[in-house]
C-alpha cells in the first residue's frame, strides 16, 4: 500500500506526501530497490543534496548500471561542488548510453565552471554534442556561447547568440550575453542596447544595466533605474552610494552605504567607501573605524589597506601607515604610495 501510494504521489509531484509513504514502505521492507532512487530524486528536488547522494548511492550499489540514478547523483554532486565525483558518474552514464538527455549539458556545465582554457574546449564539445541530441535545448546554445566567449571567439559567439533570439524571442539570456560580449569588446553603446533589451524582457537584469550606465557617464539614468525598485539589494545600495559619492553628495552616499551595511554587516566595500568619505571630510577617527572594519571583513581588500595607510599618515602614525602598505599589498602597489 505505502509503496504504490508513494509512487502515485511522486508521479503527481506531491513530493512531501510521497516522502512520507516511501519512508513507511522502506521501514516495512528495506528491499524495495527502486524506492531508494525515488526518494533520492525527491531529496534532490528538495535541494537536500547530501541525503540525495546517500539514497542514490545505495540505489546504485544495488543496480550499478542505473543511468537515471547515476545522472541524478551526478547533478547532486555537482551542486555540492564535488566536480570530480560528478564527472565520474556522468562518464559512466555516457558509456552506458551516449544519447542520454542532458548528460553532455551537465558535464559541459561542470567543465565550464572549472575555468581553464582546456576545460572550455571540452565544454564547447559537450554543448555541441548536447545540441545534436536535442536541437531545442536553448540552455545548451547559451552555455556554448559562453564557452566561445571564454575562448576569445567573441564574433562567432555573438553571431550564434542571434540564432537563439530567433528560437525564443521572449528569452532575455541572448541579450544579456551579447551585452556582456560587446562590453568586453569595449563597444559600450551596443552593450547598452543589448542590456536594455535584456531588462525589458527580464526586469531582474536591472543592476548590470545600471552599472553600465554609470560607467558610460550616465549616472542619472543609473540612479533613476536603481531607485525605481521597491526592494533594493545590498549591491543596489552600494551602487546608489557610489553614484552619490561620484556626484560629491557625501551625506546621501553615507546614508546608502550604511543602509547597505544593515543588509550585510560584513560587506567590506561599503565600510571602505564610508571610511574614504570620512577621510575626505578630515574626520580621521571615523575614517579609521570604518576602514578598520573593511579590512577585518575582507583582509585582501587592497584599497582598504591603501586608505588605512593614508589615514595613519594623516594621524601622524607613519610606522603604522607603512605597515599597512607592506602587510598585504604587492610590490607594484607600493612605490607611488610611499612618497
Q: Residue 277 contacts by C-beta under 8 Å, 6 or more apart in sequence? A: 245, 250, 253, 254, 257
- Average pLDDT of the residues in 141-158: 94
Determine the 3-state secondary structure of 168 from DSSP. Answer: coil
pTM of the model: 0.75
DSSP 173-227: HHHHHHHHHHHHTT-HHHHHHHHHHHHHH-GGGHHHHHHHHHHTT-HHHHHHHHH
- Residue-wise pLDDT for 91-124, tens only, equals 999 999 999 999 999 999 999 999 888 999 999 9
- Residue-wise pLDDT for 190-232, tens only, equals 999 999 999 999 999 999 999 999 999 999 999 999 999 989 9
Determine the 3-state secondary structure of 261 from DSSP. Answer: helix
Rounded to whole angstroms, how far apart are CA atoms 271 and 287?
Answer: 9
- Residue-wise pLDDT for 27-36, tens only, equals 777 766 678 8
Residue 338: pLDDT above 50? no
Greater confidence (332 vs 252) lies with: 252
Amino acid at each position: 500500500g505505502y509503496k504504490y501510494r508513494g509512487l502515485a504521489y511522486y508521479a503527481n509531484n506531491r513530493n512531501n506526501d510521497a516522502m512520507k509513504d516511501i519512508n513507511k514502505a522502506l521501514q516495512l521492507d528495506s528491499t524495495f530497490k527502486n524506492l531508494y532512487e525515488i526518494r533520492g530524486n525527491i531529496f534532490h528536488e528538495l535541494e537536500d543534496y547530501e541525503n540525495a547522494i546517500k539514497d542514490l548511492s545505495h540505489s546504485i550499489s544495488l543496480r550499478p548500471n542505473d543511468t537515471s540514478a547515476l545522472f541524478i547523483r551526478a547533478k547532486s554532486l555537482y551542486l555540492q561542488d564535488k566536480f570530480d565525483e560528478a564527472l565520474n558518474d556522468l562518464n559512466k552514464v555516457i558509456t552506458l548510453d551516449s544519447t542520454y538527455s542532458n548528460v553532455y549539458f551537465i558535464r559541459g556545465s561542470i567543465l565550464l565552471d572549472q575555468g581553464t582554457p582546456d576545460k572550455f574546449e571540452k565544454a564547447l564539445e559537450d554543448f555541441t554534442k548536447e545540441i545534436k541530441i536535442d536541437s531545442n535545448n536553448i540552455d545548451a546554445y547559451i552555455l556554448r556561447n559562453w564557452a566561445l566567449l571564454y575562448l576569445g571567439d567573441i564574433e562567432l559567439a555573438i553571431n550564434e547568440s542571434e540564432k537563439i533570439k530567433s528560437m525564443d524571442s521572449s528569452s532575455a539570456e541572448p541579450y544579456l550575453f551579447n551585452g556582456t560580449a560587446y562590453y568586453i569588446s569595449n563597444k559600450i553603446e551596443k552593450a547598452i542596447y543589448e542590456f536594455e533589451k535584456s531588462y525589458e524582457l527580464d526586469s531582474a537584469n536591472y543592476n548590470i544595466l545600471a552599472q553600465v550606465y554609470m560607467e558610460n557617464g550616465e549616472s542619472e539614468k543609473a540612479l533613476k533605474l536603481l531607485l525605481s525598485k521597491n526592494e533594493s539589494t545590498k549591491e543596489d545600495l552600494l551602487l546608489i552610494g557610489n553614484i552619490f559619492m561620484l556626484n560629491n553628495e557625501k551625506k546621501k552616499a553615507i546614508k546608502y552605504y550604511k543602509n547597505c551595511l544593515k543588509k550585510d554587516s560584513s560587506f567590506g566595500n561599503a565600510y571602505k567607501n564610508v571610511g574614504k568619505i570620512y577621510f575626505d571630510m578630515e574626520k580621521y577617527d571615523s575614517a579609521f573605524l570604518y576602514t578598520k572594519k573593511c579590512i577585518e571583513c575582507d583582509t585582501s581588500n587592497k584599497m582598504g589597506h591603501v586608505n588605512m595607510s593614508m589615514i595613519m599618515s594623516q594621524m601622524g602614525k607613519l610606522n603604522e601607515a607603512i605597515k599597512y602598505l607592506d602587510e598585504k599589498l604587492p610590490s607594484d602597489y607600493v612605490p607611488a604610495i610611499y612618497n
